[in-house]
Amino acid sequence: MNVRLALVGISVCAYRPGESAEHVDDPDQISELRGKDGRILWVDMVDPTDAELDHVADEFELHQLAMEDAKKHGQRPKFEKYPTHAFVVAYSNATAEVDLFVGPDWLVTVRERDDAGEVWSLDGARARFERTRAEDATVGFLLYVILDEIVDGYFDVVDQAEDRLEVLEERIFAEEAYEERSLQRELLTVRRQLLQFRRKVVPLREVVSALLRKEVPWLDDATLLHFQDVYDHVLRATDLLDEQRELLGNVVEAQLAIVSNRMNEVMKTMTSWGAIILGSTLVAGIYGMNFEHMPELGWKLGYPFALAIMATITIVGYKAFKRRDWL
């Protein structure tokens, strides 16, 4: 049986061993399907209203504290255990919150839109579960597939950050001039994004670790082996993230060093020309004192002689500083 039914705000899908997925459009049928014939019930909601959340909470007897977190959003990735279910908070692509309520034979996902108004797609997780699930697939395996898809998306975010840092590095070491303020602003933006990303990824280690400690009784041993793979991926994503943060720090230091070096070059050039002009200024200052008894003042060649001295000092000074690569 494979029936496709649409529901505003809520999508209900039932999986019975050995049969195709059954999509349900009437929320009232949740009570009828729950816990019957070995079905696994998956309820998905995208930006649900409070009324829709309350309806699902009544159907599955969700704890009030978990419901408050699901309604407010902005929660830290975490794992909470209640008498009849568990509550997991994770972030897709480290931007949009995904809340998961897990029971013995049912799972509820609540997805919010990110800052760009987009929703993380569950199509990949749904197709993967329907393609790989065995005859005795459990809700734990469904939870694993969703979390694994979420964590795999982290690597795309890290790769994008790495590509962006490479572009910034090329701009820093480019010979042509660039706007330093614009570059500094972009570096700070990347640093802020990586910091926010880390806050959403690192706590997920504790979430998966809690699942591996068998704090959820209806997760079987076979499923826990899959969660070990998720845990390894979270550790890998964290390591890559730390590497990107270290690389960003090196880029910032390189940019500051280059700015400092360019400032030093400017100061060397200004100092060199100041020293060169100082010699000519000294000659002009001496012969500009207007003392009555200065021998050169009555000399017909005094003026050309003074100009020749100034020119000599300028040429000698220029060559000396040019040889030292100050000009």
List the Cα angle 244/245/248 in 5-degree steps: 85
Nearest Cα residue to 208 out of 179, 189, 239, 233: 233
User: Are 146 and 234 part of one and the same domain?
Assistant: yes
**Residues near 54 by beta carbon (within 8 Å), at least 6 away in sequence:** 67
Neighbour tally for 171: CB within 10 Å? 16
Domain count, the chain: 2
pLDDT at residue 89 tops 90: yes
User: Are 310 and 219 part of one and the same domain?
Assistant: no
Residue 2 lies in a domain: no
Res 130: pLDDT: 83
Backbone angles phi, psi at 254, to 5 degrees: -65, -40
Are 79 and 86 in contact by the 8 Å Cβ rule? The answer is yes
Range of 274's domain?
Answer: 267-323
User: Are 65 and 205 part of one and the same domain?
Assistant: yes
User: Are 239 and 294 part of one and the same domain?
Assistant: no
pLDDT at residue 250 tops 80: yes
Domain end call among 205, 239, 258 = 258
296 token code pair: 């050169």
The region of weakest confidence among 16-20, 189-193, 240-244, 249-253 is: 16-20
Residue 260 — very low, low, confident or very high, per pLDDT cuts 50/70/90?
confident
Query: pLDDT tens digit string along 104-136?
Result: 889 999 998 877 778 888 888 988 888 876 556
The CATH number given to whatever domain includes residue 181 is 3.30.460.20
